[in-house]
Every structure is written in C-alpha cells, then in structure tokens.
Chains A and B, each alone.
Chain A
C-alpha cells in the first residue's frame, strides 16, 4: 500500500508476556519513528531510525523496550515482560527526510496493546 502499515492492529497480552509490533514504512522513506500514545494524550516519542541506524532511543521507557530496523525498511518494536502500564497505542511514522532536515511525518494507524 501507499501508507505506513502496522500490525497487529490490536494485541491483548497477559502481564509478563513478550510482544512484537511491526511497522512497514512508506517505500523509500529514510527515517522511521515509534511513538507511544496513552488514552487521552498526545503521542510521545520513543525512538527513531535513519535507515538501519538507531539514532535516538531516549524515549524508550525501560530496558524492556527494544526496537530494530535491520535492513533499513521494516521495523519491529519489542516489549519484553509486558506490564499493565505498557497498555497504549504504538504509532509508527516515516519520512523521506534524513536526520538533519524537517518535513512531514506520515503516521500509521497504530497498534493498540492491552496488557491484562
């Protein structure tokens, strides 16, 4: 498709389980971002990649969160030993801009994670 694609759209996990969320950015987009959006709040930055390099992971809330983009295209956000406070929508965004420039970010529909 032409837009950013995320899967799964909905994920229910039991506390302590590991989850993996996938993002397919727009083809050719250099930069890819992960955001976390709690209910009723704006998205908050987690991490971003320029091609396969993870340039900033300052927003990851704990070492249970891990993101990768090994070939500079598809990215996976992994959350280990999920906790209830991890429940949120995880948004992926991509842009054709590299790290030194600003430009429009295109967001996916998000993956809604519910931890029971």
Chain B
C-alpha cells in the first residue's frame, strides 16, 4: 500500500540496536500523551501512554520519557526488530478536552538487517 511515511523524518537503525524517537508537543495544558505506531495501510496502533504526573513509564521493550519543562516526549525502543519498522506518532490531549487527540509530526523508523 501507499507509504504512510512519505515526506516524514526518517530514523534508520540496525536490528538489535536501541531506537529513540523524539516529539515536541505544543499545548502546555496537555496532561495525557500517547505514542502510536502506524504501519502502511493500517490505522494507528497504541503503544504506550503517560500522564503528566509521571516522567517515565516502561512497557515491554518500550519506554516513554516526558519532560514537561521543555514540552518534549521521547519513545525508546529496546533491541529494535524488523517488525518495529513503521511510522510513529506522538499525540497529546488534556483532561476535559474530550479525549480529542492532537498528533505530532510522525517519524518513519526503518530497521536495517
């Protein structure tokens, strides 16, 4: 199918290395953040979320870091695998905002064998 990642920043990593994908968010009132993975021809898939009362949250092979001072999020993927190749989006919203998400500019992750 058509590439979701056309025109997006690209991060290329070797299989087995760690990946770090960064995101700057825009709204200082945002208090809930989500990372989504989107493969070509598919809808966004939830990876991990974090609320603003936390700085770090870990999942299986993934860690999200939140720096509210500079409005920055990062997604760390440990031991990157070929199946991790996709476009990754951060999204933000705030309590009382109706769960309406604002998505950031995505990053295309390419895993090289």
- By a beta-carbon cutoff of 8 Å, the part of chain A in contact with chain B is 4, 31, 33, 35, 37, 39-45, 48, 50, 55-56, 91, 93, 95, 97, 99-110
Interface of B is mostly: loop
CA of A107 to CA of B94 in the docked complex: distance in angstroms? Answer: 19
How distant is A6 from chain B, measured CB to nearest CB, in Å? 8
CA of A105 to CA of B33 in the docked complex: distance in angstroms? Answer: 11
How distant is B44 from chain A, measured CB to nearest CB, in Å? 5
Question: In the complex the two chains form, is B43's CB within 8 Å of A104's CB?
Answer: no
CA of A17 to CA of B98 in the docked complex: distance in angstroms? Answer: 32
Question: In the complex the two chains form, is B100's CB within 8 Å of A40's CB?
Answer: no
Question: In the complex the two chains form, is A105's CB within 8 Å of B46's CB?
Answer: yes
CA of A74 to CA of B36 in the docked complex: distance in angstroms? Answer: 24
Question: In the complex the two chains form, is B7's CB within 8 Å of A40's CB?
Answer: yes
Question: In the complex the two chains form, is A99's CB within 8 Å of B49's CB?
Answer: no
**B69 interface hit (Cβ, 8 Å):** no
CA of A106 to CA of B34 in the docked complex: distance in angstroms? Answer: 12
